[in-house]
Structure 1
Amino acid sequence: MGGTHPRFSVAEADMPLLAPTNESERLAALHALGIVDSAPEAAYDEITELAAQICGCPVSHISFIDDDRRWLKARYGLPAEVTDAPRETAVCTTTICGTELLVIPDLKRDPRFENSPMVSLTPPCRFYCGMPLITDEGYALGTLCVMDFEPRQLSFEQTEALRMLSHQVLAQLELRRKLIEYHQTIRQLEQARLETAAERARAEELLRNVLPAPIADELTQRGRVQPKYTRSATILFADIQGFTQLAERTEPASLIHLLDEYFSALDEIGARYGLEKVKTMGDAYMAVAGVISPDRRHSIDVCLAALEMRARLDHLRAQCEAIGERALQLRIGIHTGPVISGVVGNRRMTFDIWGDAVNTAWFMEAFGVAGHINVSETVAGHVHGLFELRSRGPIEAKHARTHEMFFLNGLKREYSRNADGSLPNEHFLAEYRRIGGSRLALER
């Protein structure tokens, strides 16, 4: 070659387009590798150089036959700008239609290629030897070729070496395929991990919506919840007076909307004062404080929550009356005492509390008065220094038991920042902290 690179000025040739019988599958296999138009790689470059040296040829290349072109992955003895050519003009198009070495001692004397653009090059390409790169699945993706500008022959050892080098090209392609599969597997595993994490997060969020957060965490970590005995907790029962009569005359969707509005207000207020909703039963609402997050002053917290609940419901009632709708009132009962808490069921699990204190709290609500907060003697004993209470005297319950009951009217005047005694002022907060209260939600 005299150290100069040949100029490949390719022209169209009137040659029929050759293609293997499995052409569509072959192209799919080639495209799956993503090797066409890929960056140069040392492994392929070294194979082409080795092929040229072994065969004593000035030119060697590894090519892949795409839909309409021959593209060079690696080249030796060719200028860098020579990368592809129209498929119909490439001798390699014929090579991939066979399964063995295609050896052409003199292209100019072969009727198939005597008019090939390769023969018209300066200098003309006269000798060609190409090995099809056939995968284990039987797809001839491309070729490993050597070429010379003079007619010649290769020895048996040289052709065998070219075969073995083609196996190394195929090994590189197999590594590429496995790497692609590996990355796909990694992406699928990562996607599955993200979906599993998202599903787990949704499940945990749903669990936390159904169960108190500490209970949900214990269930997630241990698979079960240990029943817990609490020596002192404060239970609140509330129900909506006149709801049964309203239900008989109200369209179901409107009724559910009304309940949702009322109970959502109770949930929001209760959460700020440390109450945990236990359940709703029709128009009845049950919550507890001092079980999930023990606090020495949970009786005070529940009384504050009850006053704000009553005030909120009074506001809703005023809105209903203003537009001529039937107004409802809230009846609340509160008691403090020991309870057992836990989770029941293994499918639709629910957090619940049990004990005589629960029955007494229900009794406070059942024997209360609409628009009032009825508390037990125990609650009154815990909160009397901060709240206005009015004694109702002893009320007889089942089994000849009597209970001292009190109406919780509101905060004492010196501790309230509004006229109805439902919101504490700074004097209350100072006293509350002094006696051991710790509900930060009161700071606003």
Structure 2
Amino acid sequence: MDLKHENIIWQYGRREGDLLPGVLLKEDGRYYIKSAYYAQVNEQLSRLSMLMDVSRSIMAEIDLDSLLQLIMQKVTIVMNADRSSLFLVDHEKQQLWTRVAQGASEIRLPFGEGIAGDVARTGITANIPDAYEDKRFNKDFDIKTGYRTKSILCMGIRNQHGKIIGTIQVLNKKDNTAFSETDESMLSAFCALAGISLENARAYEELQIERNSLEVRVQERTKELATEKKKADELLLNILPVDIAEELKVKGEAEPRAYERVTVMFTDFKGFTQVAEKMSAENLVSDLDKCFYYFDEVMDRFKVEKIKTIGDSYMCAGGLPKPNRTNPVEVVLAAMEIRNFMDQLKEIKRNMEQPYWELRIGIHTGPIIAGVVGKRKFAYDIWGDTVNTASRMESSGTPGEINISEATYQYVKEFFQCQHRGKVAAKNKGDIDMYFVERIIPELSHDKEGQVPNQAFLEKLSQIEHLV
């Protein structure tokens, strides 16, 4: 079919006296009139169909930035415009601003200023055939970019309560005509659609912000709880051995255990009461703290478990909570280090003419029972005759000496030179064979004084540990 436009003619409308424009067309040698009214209807139906398609894509978008971009893209097409901009109202700052404006970066302007600002303030649609004839229009953007703004159609976007939340502005209709009433109706429908979508997107964005804020608060609280848990764990480990602490956290209780070979050491300061009477409370506690702090550090290095302190007495044990074969040797090594420390401290105090303490050390090896006692201020403790005997070894000892029992001597005699004291009376224990540890035997010593083990010593100790 070959249709050729001939000329525009007038024809009678449906009502008497109406004249409607029509188009005279020729087809296959015959002429007929096509009504411009029907052409307009077809165009409107086409644009409404396009609006329906657009509405589906816009309503499906919930990300605000993406939605703004999509609205600008679609409104430009539907309105057959050259470009568009969408301004949102910031009621708190009394500003209009846009994240997207085709042909421009972000724009902010005072509420009520310019065409968009005036429409946002008054709610009255602005349909301007020539922008340069309107006093509200600012030519600065055109001058800066070289763009020529002609026709403008600007309309308010309202939320479900009728409050203006933004404006849509379309520029320069592509057919170079002014925007018509039909265009206004189309943009009005588009603004209604945009209002719903923007409110949904804003609600979603606020929800996401609140969710993110909640997540941050949860993370911060989790971090705080982790910090508090770490502090609690560290405090627990200061009170209990690691294995016992873990068992207590997991089960809520720690079962008592029996050990066949544990070496228990007691220390006590001779003349503590007399010296303490000459010291202030602060100096007394400070000196005790320095001594016991060093003792703790030594016990950690030799895998000896501190049990408790009672006044000036210090109690520890090797071979628990994880059993081993080498604990008698390790406890004696630890005893030698703290004895040497106290000897050095004694010399310093003498030179400064200050009162000093002398240390007695008693060690015994044998079976014990270990467990956690108490409900609130619980403590890891050990019981058995081995504990009592070790205590008697300390009280039967001599200041500056390491006094060990016959049982301990049998485990350590291949590593240390010991002086047999013979049978010594111990309270409630009768006569017990006791020994003073003098030094490490020469062939296993790193130094002449026999205070530091050499590599041969360590290899020999390792062999004992791996015996079946």
> Which TM bucket (shorter chain)?
0.7 to 0.9
1:384-399 → structure 2 map (5 Å cutoff): 384-399=413-428
Matched, 1:74 2:100: yes
Residue in structure 2 matched with residue 346 of structure 1 by the alignment: 375
Q: Aligned partner of 2:291: which letter?
A: Y
1:104–1:333: structure 2 CA closer, same or farther, 3 Å change rule?
Answer: same
Residue in structure 1 matched with residue 251 of structure 2 by the alignment: 222
1:3-402 → structure 2 map (5 Å cutoff): 41-55=65-79, 59-66=83-90, 67=93, 70-75=96-101, 79-80=103-104, 83-85=107-109, 87-97=111-121, 102-105=124-127, 115-117=135-137, 128-134=153-159, 140-146=164-170, 150=178, 152-154=180-182, 159-399=188-428, 401-402=430-431
- Aligned with 2:436 (options 407, 419, 422): 407
SS of residue paired to 1:221? helix
| Structure 1 runs not aligned, ≥5 long | 1-38, 439-444
Bigger relative contact order (CA 8 A; separation at least 6) = 1
C-alpha distance in 1, partners of 2:64/2:427? 92
C-alpha distance in 1, partners of 2:312/2:135? 95
State which structure, 1 or 2, has the greater radius of gyration over its C-alpha atoms.
2
Task: Give per-residue Cα distances to partners, 1:345-390, cap 9 Å, x unaligned.
Answer: 2333321111111111111111211111111121122222332223
Contact 1:108 1:119 in 2 (8 A): no
Contact 2:111 2:120 in 1 (8 A): no
Q: CA deviation at 1:119?
A: 9.4
1:332–1:50: structure 2 CA closer, same or farther, 3 Å change rule?
Answer: same
Q: Aligned partner of 2:100: which letter?
A: A
C-alpha distance in 1, partners of 2:446/2:320? 29
SS of residue paired to 1:91? helix
Q: Aligned partner of 1:241: which letter?
A: K
C-alpha distance in 2, partners of 1:347/1:380? 39
Q: Aligned partner of 2:240: which letter?
A: L
More strand by share: 2
Q: Aligned partner of 1:226: which letter?
A: E
Residue in structure 2 matched with residue 442 of structure 1 by the alignment: none
SS of residue paired to 2:400? coil
Contact 2:68 2:86 in 1 (8 A): yes
Contact 1:40 1:73 in 2 (8 A): no
Q: CA deviation at 1:254?
A: 1.1
Larger displacement relative to structure 2 (277-286 or 45-54): 45-54
Contact 1:289 1:302 in 2 (8 A): yes
Q: CA deviation at 1:288?
A: 0.2
1:307–1:162: structure 2 CA closer, same or farther, 3 Å change rule?
Answer: closer
Contact 1:107 1:119 in 2 (8 A): no
> Pairwise CA RMSD of aligned residues?
3.3
Q: CA deviation at 1:302?
A: 1.2
| Structure 2 runs not aligned, ≥5 long | 1-62
Q: Aligned partner of 2:296: which letter?
A: D
TM-score if structure 1 supplies the norm length?
A: 0.77
Quote the sequence identity (%): 29
Contact 2:268 2:361 in 1 (8 A): yes
C-alpha distance in 1, partners of 2:450/2:149? 106
Larger displacement relative to structure 2 (222-231 or 50-59): 50-59
Task: Give per-residue Cα distances to partners, 1:159-201, cap 9 Å, x unaligned.
Answer: 2343123212222222322222232222222222222222222
Q: CA deviation at 1:125?
A: 5.6
Q: Aligned partner of 1:263: which letter?
A: F
Residue in structure 1 matched with residue 17 of structure 2 by the alignment: none
Q: CA deviation at 1:422?
A: 2.5
